Amino acid sequence: MNVNLLAVSVGNTHVRLGAFLDGKITESRVAPAGDLDAFADAAKALWTLVQDAEGAACVVASVNPGPTRAITDWITGNLDTDALRVEKDMRIPVGRQLDHETIVGEDRLLNAAAAYSVLKQALVVVDAGTAITIDFVDGVGTFHGGAIGPGARMMLHSMQQGTAQLPEVELVRPKEAIGHNTAEAMRSAVFHGLRGMTRELLEAYAEAAGAFPLLVATGGDAPLLFEGWELIDRIVPDLTLIGIAVTLQAALNAEADADGDDDEEED
C-alpha cells in the first residue's frame, strides 16, 4: 500500500484515529466518542503528519451515527479536505456471505479486510471492545459473519446493575481462576467466559470450514483478554484503521484500472 491518509473509526465508546504515510501507520490516537474537542485535538495533530503527502485523504468509518455527523462536519470545516465515508464513497474490499438485506457493522468488515489482506487464508477476528464480535472469513476472503456478545466491561457493569449486592468492578486480569472474593469471582467469570466463548466458536467455525483458521484479536480489551493465549496468532490494536487504509487503496486501484481501460478505448 502507498496511501497517505487520516483514518477515523467512530466506535460506540471511542473514536480511533491513525495517520498513514505510504500505507504504514505512523501514529494513532484515541478520543472519547462524545468529546468533539478531544477528537479535534487528535485530528489536528495527526493531519499535520499527512497533509502535505501526495493524495492525502481523510476517510471515516462509523458504527455510531450519533457523533459521526459532528465529526465529519468538523473535518470538512477545519482540515481543508473532504471527509470520505466508508461504504458510501468506497466499498470495503471483502466478499460477503450474509442473509439478504443484513446490515453489518463497518468495523467488522474492515477488520476482515485488513486481516485477510495480510494473511490470505481462512481466519477468525475477535474484536474485544464495548461488545465482542467473533467473525469468520474464509480462504478466499469472504466475510460470513459470526457472533456478537457483550464485552467485558459491559458484562461487569450489567452484573452490578442487575443485582442487589454485586459491586461495580474494575476490569483487570484475574489473579487466578478461582476467585476468593466477590470482585475476583466476577473478573474470573468474565475473563475465562470470554476466552471460553472464543475457543468454542473458533472450534465450531473450524468444523464448519473443514480447516482450523488463524485467530486474530483487536479492540481495546484484546491485550488484557488474549495476550499470551496459545490460540491467538496475533493481536493488532489498529486493525480497523488498517482496514480503512486497505479500503482506500482498493478504491484507488479500481480508479486507476478504470482510467487505464478508458485510455485503451480511446486508442
Using one digit for the tens of pLDDT, what is the confidence trace for 5-28?
A: 999 999 999 999 999 999 999 999
Q: Percent of the chain scored above 90 by pLDDT?
A: 91
Compute the average pLDDT of residues 191-205. Answer: 97
Compute the average pLDDT of residues 224-229. Answer: 96
Model confidence at 261, in pLDDT bands (50, 70, 90)?
low
Burial 13-49 (b: 16+ CB within 10 A, else e): bbbbbbbbbeeebeebbbbebeebebbbebbeebbeb
Model confidence at 266, in pLDDT bands (50, 70, 90)?
low
Compute the average pLDDT of residues 220-227. Answer: 96
| Predicted pLDDT of residue 262 | 58
Sort residue 21 into left (φ over 0), alpha (ψ -120 to 50) or beta.
Answer: beta
Determine whether 107 is an active site residue: yes
Using one digit for the tens of pLDDT, what is the confidence trace for 69-101?
A: 999 999 999 998 999 999 999 999 999 999 988
Model confidence at 116, in pLDDT bands (50, 70, 90)?
very high
Helix (H, G, I), strand (E, B) or coil at 152: helix
Instruction: Please state which of the four CATH numbers 3.30.420.40, 2.60.40.10, 3.30.70.270, 3.40.50.2000 is assigned to the domain occupying 5-85.
Output: 3.30.420.40
Look up the CATH number of domain 95-236: 3.30.420.40
Distant-in-sequence, close-in-space partners of 54: CB < 8 Å, separation ≥ 6: 4
| Predicted pLDDT of residue 260 | 67
Q: Which parts of the chain fold into alpha helices (H)?
A: 36-50, 65-78, 106-119, 152-161, 182-209, 222-226, 239-266
pLDDT value at 241 more than 80: yes
| Predicted pLDDT of residue 258 | 76
pTM greater than 0.85 (yes/no): yes
| Predicted pLDDT of residue 101 | 86
Helix (H, G, I), strand (E, B) or coil at 142: strand
CA 114 to chain centre: 9
CA distances from 47 to 19, 27, 73, 84, 107 (A): 7, 11, 15, 14, 22
Model confidence at 211, in pLDDT bands (50, 70, 90)?
confident
113 in Cβ contact with 120 (< 8 Å): no
| Predicted pLDDT of residue 256 | 82
| Predicted pLDDT of residue 267 | 57
| Predicted pLDDT of residue 265 | 61
Give me the catalytic one of 107, 127, 221, 238.
Answer: 107
Mean confidence (pLDDT) of the chain:
94
Helix (H, G, I), strand (E, B) or coil at 33: coil
Q: Which three cell numbers stand for residue 240?
A: 480497523
Compute the average pLDDT of residues 204-214. Answer: 93
Q: Which uninterrupted H or E stretch holds 100?
A: none
Residues of the chain with CATH 3.30.420.40: 5-85, 95-236
| Predicted pLDDT of residue 85 | 97
Distant-in-sequence, close-in-space partners of 131: CB < 8 Å, separation ≥ 6: 12, 148, 149, 150, 151, 154
CA 251 to chain centre: 19
Compute the average pLDDT of residues 20-42. Answer: 96
CA distance 180 to 184: 6
Q: Which position has the higher pLDDT, 263 or 11?
A: 11
Q: Which three cell numbers stand for residue 69?
A: 455527523
